[in-house]
Chains A and B, each alone.
Chain A
Amino acid sequence: MLQVFGVPVNPIPPALYEDEWDDTQDWPNDWRLERDDAMGRVMATRPFWFLIYDGVIGAQQTDRGQITVQEDTWLIALMASSQQAAGFAAQIFLPGEETNFQDDDVPNPDMLGTGQRPFYLLTPQHIHVGDQLESRIINLATSSNAIQLVGLGLRPDTRKKIT
């Protein structure tokens, strides 16, 4: 896998075990060092939010979105909003990697979280700089529907020293 210097292979798992970060326990030194190093790498990334799709789609019609990733990124969560309660179905592709995130169109409550409750991916997806992230959005409402699809990503924080 092509990697940019300073981007950890998978920065998420060490951060997920927050309850294990208990200073009152006497962890083996070598274990702590390993964890500290991993957490240091997570701290060297910055979260940011980016629009994957933003548009108004007519009744029971479809649209496609396409963005070009400007920086080497780990996609870790998805969130979406739909003006109409009927919602929408979506499919996301990385055509450069010949990767489909879904084989079929998935309704937004099954795949996409909300701003308050983001849908965290079990496996963060590494998206290389210059890759295109395409989306296919199907409005399920029988009226016009304003739809936004937002991703939460991690990218290197150039302000921090990475050892």
Chain B
Amino acid sequence: MNTLTKKQGRSIYTPSCAVLVPQLPVQNFMPPSGKPFEFHGGVPLPAIGAQATVFSFLVPRGNNGFIRRIANVFVGGGFTDFSGAVVWQIFLDINKGTVAPNFDNIIASLGSVSNPSQVDGIHIMELATVALVVKNISVAVAGQLIGGRLGGSFHSIREEPQNIAF
């Protein structure tokens, strides 16, 4: 059966003729088949020692994706960036418990919801439930809110180069 799957080495990055039509890298730019997303949400600060899911979303079937913008904020008093009193984590799949490498111990606000910071692409996989999680280490709860935003796009799996690693 003539299927186009990444494992068979038939991604669109394999030129079918002598001329390779250039395409911007999918990890940095949304391809033509991409579907953008800007998931965001907020939760009350959980109790000391507890964690809460700020928001989560499902990667659609047949699609992988890249997160290219991130924001995580603390609304209220009692917290200072880098104090370690609150820790955020991005989960590649909250159901499997896999955190995103290098985004597993965020101790400061990396961007505001209205002005998120750019990252080079966190690879998220088909049917994974991606989540932003917050852990309250030592902030006394007094009505504070935790918010966040993850922006990027989904794309058809065959848009990916074969040697993509992360």
- List chain A positions with a Cβ less than 8 A from chain B: 58, 60-64, 86, 89, 93, 95, 98-100, 103-105, 107, 136, 138, 140
- List chain B positions with a Cβ less than 8 A from chain A: 6-7, 89, 92, 96-102, 104-105, 125, 162-166
**Are B98 and A138 in contact, CB atoms less than 8 angstroms apart?**
yes
Closest 3 CB pairs of A and B: A98-B163, A62-B101, A61-B104
Q: How far is the CA of A61 from the CA of B106 in the complex (A)?
A: 11
What are the residues of chain B within 8 A of A98 when measuring CB–CB? 162-163
What are the residues of chain A within 8 A of B97 when measuring CB–CB? 60, 86, 89, 140
Name the distance in Å between A131's Cβ and chain B's nearest Cβ. Answer: 14
Closest to A58 in B: B105
- Pick the most buried of A89, A93, A104, A136: most chain B CB atoms within 10 A of its CB: A104
Q: How far is the CA of A34 from the CA of B100 in the complex (A)?
A: 50
What are the residues of chain B within 8 A of A86 when measuring CB–CB? 97
What are the residues of chain A within 8 A of B102 when measuring CB–CB? 62
**Interface class of chain B by DSSP:** loop
Contact of A103 among B6, B101, B105 (CB under 8 A): B6
Q: Would you mind naming 11 contact pairs between A and B with Cβ atoms under 8 Å apart?
A: A58-B105, A61-B104, A62-B99, A62-B100, A62-B101, A64-B101, A86-B97, A98-B162, A107-B96, A136-B101, A138-B99
Closest to B100 in A: A62
Q: How far is the CA of A105 from the CA of B99 in the complex (A)?
A: 10
Name the distance in Å between B21's Cβ and chain A's nearest Cβ. Answer: 21
**Are A60 and B96 in contact, CB atoms less than 8 angstroms apart?**
no
**Are A99 and B163 in contact, CB atoms less than 8 angstroms apart?**
yes
Name the distance in Å between B23's Cβ and chain A's nearest Cβ. Answer: 18
**Are B165 and A95 in contact, CB atoms less than 8 angstroms apart?**
yes
Contact of B92 among A61, A99, A103, A105 (CB under 8 A): A105
**Are B98 and A89 in contact, CB atoms less than 8 angstroms apart?**
yes
What are the residues of chain B within 8 A of A62 when measuring CB–CB? 99-102, 104
Contact of B165 among A58, A60, A100, A107 (CB under 8 A): A100
What are the residues of chain B within 8 A of A95 when measuring CB–CB? 165
What are the residues of chain A within 8 A of B98 when measuring CB–CB? 89, 105, 138, 140
